[in-house]
Amino acid sequence: MWAVIGVWDIGPELIDELRAQVPLMASSKVGTPGFLHGTWTLDGHMVQVYADEANARRYHDEMRAGGFLERPGLRCVVWAVAEVGAESGH
């Protein structure tokens, strides 16, 4: 398994807008090729787990190429792909 990890600094002028979008961000990934599960926080952190490296890198590259990582008031601090070493359930 492979993860796409993102961390953003969010300006105070955008925090309420982005928090309201978190459920949509999460639900929109269902059905994405290779997507297994993800976690989105209300303060700009995200981890999405993919079944394989190719799909994780595809999503990672599409977001970068589409210009979705930064805009005024939103600065991407971390945008990385990493191999998952272990998971724990609840």
CATH number at residue 63: 3.30.70.100
The answer as to whether 88 is a domain residue is no
Q: Is the dihedral of CA 83, 35, 61, 42 positive or negative?
A: negative
The answer as to whether 89 is a domain residue is no
Number of domains observed in the structure of the chain: 1
For 12-61, write each residue's pLDDT tens digit: 999 999 999 999 988 998 889 999 999 999 999 999 999 999 999 999 99
Whether pTM > 0.75 for this model: the answer is yes
What is the domain range of residue 14? Answer: 2-83
The answer as to whether 29 is a domain residue is yes
